[in-house]
Amino acid sequence: MIHTVIHSSARDVAEAVALFLAECLQEDPGLVLGLPTGRTPVPMYRALVRLHRQGHADFSSATTFNLDEFVGLPAGHPGSYRAFMQRHLFAHVNLNSAQTHLPHGGAANPRAEAARYDAAIGAAGGLDIAILGIGANGHIGFNEPAASLPARTNVVALRPGTRAANAAAFGGRASRVPVRAISMGVGTILSARHVLLLATGADKADIVAKALRGPVTTRVPASLLQLHPRAAVVLDRAAAKKLTSYC
Ligand code: F6R
pLDDT tens track for 198-223: 999 999 999 999 999 999 999 999 99
Distance of CA 7 to the CA centre of its chain: 19
Task: Tell me, in angstroms, the distance from the centre of ligand 1 to residue 135's CA.
Answer: 5
Q: Which residues contact 132 (CB under 8 A, 6 or more apart)?
A: 34, 36, 67, 140, 141, 189, 195, 196, 197, 198, 222, 225
- Mutate-to-test residue for ligand 1 from 137, 142, 166, highest number of ligand atoms within 8 A of CB: 142
Spatial CA neighbour of 119 closest among 171, 188, 46 = 188
pLDDT for position 40: 98
Asked whether the beta carbons of 170 and 246 are under 8 A apart, the reply is: no
Tell me how far apart the 2 most distant CA atoms of the chain are, in Å.
Answer: 48
79, 83, 84, 85: CA torsion to nearest 10: 160
69 within ligand 1 shell (Cβ under 6 A): no
Q: Is the entire prediction scored with pTM above 0.95?
A: yes
**Helix (H) / strand (E) containing 65:** strand 63-66
Going by C-beta distance under 8 Å and a sequence separation of 6 or more, which residues neighbour residue 53?
92
Residue-wise pLDDT for 126-177, tens only, equals 999 999 999 999 999 999 999 999 999 999 999 999 999 999 999 999 999 9
Beta carbon of 113 within 6 Å of any ligand 1 atom: no
From atom 1 of ligand 1, which residue's Cα is the shortest distance away? 37
The reply to whether ligand 1 has any atom less than 6 angstroms from the CB of 110 is no
